[in-house]
Amino acid sequence: MSILVCGGAGYIGSHMVLELIKKNYDVVVVDNLSNGHRELVDKNAKFYTCDIRDDSLMDNIIQKENVEAVIHFAAFSIVSESMIDPAKYYDNNILATLSLLNTMRRNKINKIVFSSTAAVYGEPESIPIHEDNSLRPINPYGETKLTIEKMLYWFDNAYNIKYSILRYFNVAGADENIKTGEMHNPETHLIPIILKSILENKKIKIFGDDYPTQDGTCIRDYIHVTDLAIAHILALEKLNKTNKSEIYNLGNGNGFSVMQIIKTAEKVTGKKINYEIAPRRIGDPAILIASSEKAKKNLNWQPKFYEPEKIISTAWNWHKKLFLDKN
């Protein structure tokens, strides 16, 4: 079965490709390399530098490679940037996905796994967050992902394109064998910011220490990137078996505070983290944890990396490698 991975040169996408290759799928990657890195793509995958809005090239790739299903990661995902430049997010996330779905229609592909976000829930009405919670995004990034989810619903109704939507919060870690990992510029994720601060001897900021949590810092749900990639494969296989569209939340099931992550990083690296307390950021809820019970039950998804020590250890190995390669 030939799988098209859109955005397969990115952080999550490159891990997706790696896990598909391990399971002996034929993998085709399209990425415009606006944020992706060609060198992160497994050499056993077929790679095309292509924007998913390029209808002619996409048709040629799909027909040449006999693509049967799509896994879609090609999106911008920085919340703060989406607040400043929402047009960029509407164009790249929504319009590009519309183009992709129309490409699927033309080529009679009727299966897609969509990498969404728990940002579609906005300020959660309850913790942990379940799939039937209210959808009230509070930033353009979450709004664009929710719009795409709605598009998928109606494309299923009108054109019988079946989907599996996966919603999740903080992705972290790297491939255990250090074949790929996180390479964002600028970096906005907590764990790589912490680890890079050690390697580059920089101070980091903790935004708020007066939240109603045990240590006053925000609590977040972290999922290892390999566990996330495996969940996408399980969702695709379930979709092929049932031909029924579904939505799943993914997460660790346990929340960890910013301070807990810092202390764990200190334990893993043996280094002291240099930080300062800064004012809260607007729109940061105190606690965000997603329930993964539906995915565990329906997909038989069993995350391997529960403990923050394991997640941070894989990330540390990757960032040390990057630092040594640069120096």
Active site residues: 141
Dihedral (CA of 222, 226, 227, 232) sign: positive
CA distance 5 to 21: 12
| Whether 149 contacts 113, CB under 8 Å | no
> Which of helix, strand or coil describes residue 239?
helix
Is the bond leading into 140 cis (omega within 30 degrees of zero)? no
| Whether 128 contacts 291, CB under 8 Å | yes
DSSP state of 35: S
CA distance 40 to 117: 23
- β-partners of residue 275 are 204
CA distance 111 to 101: 10
Return the structure tokens found at 173.
Answer: 């870690």
Pairing mode of beta strands 246-250, 162-168: parallel
